[in-house]
Structures are given as structure tokens and as C-alpha cells.
Amino acid sequence: MTDAIVPSRSPAATHLPAAPQRVRGYWGSVWRRLRYDYVTLFCLVLILIIVASAVFAPELAPLDPYKSSMAHRLKPIGYRNYLLGTDEQGRDMLSRLLFGGRVSLSMGILPVVLATAIGGLFGVLAGYYGGKVNTVIMRTMDVFFAFPSVLLAVAISGSLGGGIVNQLLTLTIVLIPPLCRVAETATAQVRTMDFVDAARATGASTLSILFTHVIINVMSPVVVYASTLVSVSIILASGLSFLGLGVSPPTADWGLMLSTLRQSIYVQPWVSAIPGIAILVTSIAFNLVSDGLRQAMDVRS
């Protein structure tokens, strides 16, 4: 990266002791690097817009997303006041898209948050205590790594059945093992550092060492990794909904909309593709932001 040292303007200054510079904290330097990463910033704004449009869907939606109309089924984009056309039951696509974002975004973010908390906790415990605790936790996680994530999601969700709670549960279980592994690796590194020994020497309790020294330091790699999982989670969730393992039909959800509109690709191909574009854009935005975040938080660069 190009931002390591700001070259001094005057050549004479190089011979003098460096002027006292303001010491930047870790987050300060992360932000300084992020500020010039326009792609990441753009995607960050895009995510804010997408989230806001889902949160304020009731205010923004031009029409009722559940009101079907047999007379206006499968109308093209821009038909009368249906900005994005209508679906197979004559419901307004734009309104459904806005409302669908509520479920789809929740299914991208909530499982990651839950899995970060649970997987992170197990990982920290495994990494900090080592030995038997580590063996039990990490070997259990290894078994889950024996399943490709899509397969594990379909397996659990297929057994539990559809429904939004089951979907949330499934995605959380699927995301726990990788987060646990990242947290374990990071903790094992931190554990051997001198400041942890120093804290122990001063008589700090295990709990306070874990919270004030270990978790703080493990947080940043775990959070960066978790941010890459948001788009994974969105795609997995939409896939499950596509298979009928998500919300039940009248509710709007991008994956489910794709699934029900699949029958209509011969009538209105491009209207049928719209929910997928929403998933794609959201997923790209999250991917690029997590890339940018990882680069900005990487101390080596």
C-alpha cells in the first residue's frame, strides 16, 4: 500500500529528528486507509441504501406487496404504475423487492452475528485452554467441515423442514465451525504473548484475562472473517428459500420470489430475473466491503 510514510517536503527535514507526530490508534489508521478506497466506500454506501430501503419498506413501497390482481399478472417492467412489473399473481415487483429485502438481509446478517458469538466463544475457549478442551471442541468442528456448506445447510434444513426460524437455526449451525476455527487460531497466537503472561502474573482472573486481553485482540480477525460470511449467508439463505426451505409463500423473500417466478421465464424473462439481481448486487457489495476491510485492517500492508 502507498500510505506507509508520508514523505517530508523539505529535504533538510530528513537530517533533523522527526517532528512529534500525532500517534494514530489502530482504528484511526484503518479509517485512514479506507478513506481512499473508493470502491469499498461506494459499496458501503450501497449497503446502507439497501438496508435503509428494507427498513423503510412500508414507507417506500408504492403499492401493497401482498395485493394480487388477476388482471395484471406478469406485466413487463415499467407497465403503468408498476415500476418493475408484476409477478405471477399480479403483485407489484418493486414493493415485493423492498419487503423481500427485510427477510433476505436479516438472513444474511443475523446468522453471522449469532454464529460469531457462539463460534467465537467456543474458539476462544478452545484456543485459550488448549489440551482436552481444545480437542473436544475442534474435533467436533472437524466433523462439520466434512460437509460442503450447501450440503450441510440442505441436510439440516431438509430434516427440520421449512420456516424462518429453522432457516436461521440452519445457517447459524453452518457458519459456526469456520468462525470457531478462526477464533481458535487467533486465540492460540494471543495466548502465548507476553502481555497475557504479565496479566496472569499480576493475579488477574482467567475471566478478566479472557475479556480484557484475549477477546479484544481476537476480535479484529474474527470480525473481518465474519464480514466475508455475510454474502455467503445471503446466498445460502436464498438457495434454501429457492428450494422451499425458507419463509412460507405469501411472505416476500428474494430467494422465494426467484423460485416462484421460475415458472414464468417464458412469459416475462427479465421480470423473473429481478430478485436475482437484488441478491447479486447485495452479495457483491458485501464481498467488496469485506475485501476492503480486510486490506485496511491488515497491519502488514
Partner 1 sequence: MWLYAARRIVLTIPILLGVTIICFALVQIAPGDPIQNLLSPTASAADAARLRAAYGLDQPLVVQYVIWLGKVLVGNLGLSIANNAPVAGQVLHAFLNTLVIALISVVLAFVVSTIFGVLAAYRSGRLADRVITAVAVFGISVPPFWLGVILVILFAVNLSWLPATGMGASGSESFDYLHWDDFKFAIMPIVALALPPLGIMTRTTRAAVAEILNQDFVQTLRAKGLSERAVIVHALRNILPQAVAMLGLQLGYLIGGSVLVETVFTWPGTGYLLNKAVLTRDIPLLQGTILVLATAFVLINLAVDLVQSTIDPRIKRS
Q: Of 181 and 213, which has the nearer Cβ to partner 1?
A: 181
CB nearer to partner 1: give 112 or 279.
279
The sign of the torsion formed by the CA atoms of 140, 141, 145, 150 equals positive
| Angle value at C-alpha 14, between 12 and 16, nearest 5 degrees | 85
Q: Residue 135 or 205: which CB sits closer to partner 1?
A: 135
Minimum separation from the CB atom of position 2 to partner 1 (A): 11
CA atoms within 13 A of residue 59's CA, in its CB half-sphere: 5
Residue closer to partner 1 (CB basis): 140 or 208: 140
Separation CA 279–CA 258 (nearest Å): 10
- Write down the least CB distance from residue 229 to partner 1, Å: 12
Q: Return the number of the residue (127 or 255) whose C-beta is nearest partner 1.
A: 255
Question: Least distance from C-beta 32 to partner 1, angstroms?
Answer: 21
Question: Is residue 69 within 8 Å of 90, Cβ to Cβ?
Answer: yes
Amino acid (1-letter code) at residue 245:
L
Distance CA 40, CA 17 (A): 37
Shorter beta-carbon distance to partner 1: residue 95 or 231: 231
Give the Cα separation of 128 and 217 in Å (integer).
13
Q: Which residues contact 233 (CB under 8 A, 6 or more apart)?
A: 107, 108, 109, 111, 112, 171, 175
C-alpha cell of 36? Answer: 481512499
d(CA 123, CA 230): 19
CB of 122 to partner 1, least distance (A): 16
Let me know if 49 is exposed, middle or buried by CB neighbors in 10 A (0-12, 13-18, 19+).
exposed
Q: Rule CB under 8 A: which residues touch partner 1? A: 139-140, 142-144, 146-151, 154-161, 231, 235, 238-239, 242-245, 255, 258, 262, 265-266, 269-270, 272-273, 275-276, 279-280, 283-284, 287-288
Q: How far apart are CA 258 and CA 275, in angstroms?
A: 6
CB of 290 to partner 1, least distance (A): 11
Contact by Cβ (8 Å): 61, 98:
yes
Instruction: Give least dist CB 167 to partner 1, A.
Output: 13
Task: Name the residue nearer to partner 1 (CB basis): 119 or 196.
Answer: 119
Closest separation in Å from C-beta 185 to partner 1:
15
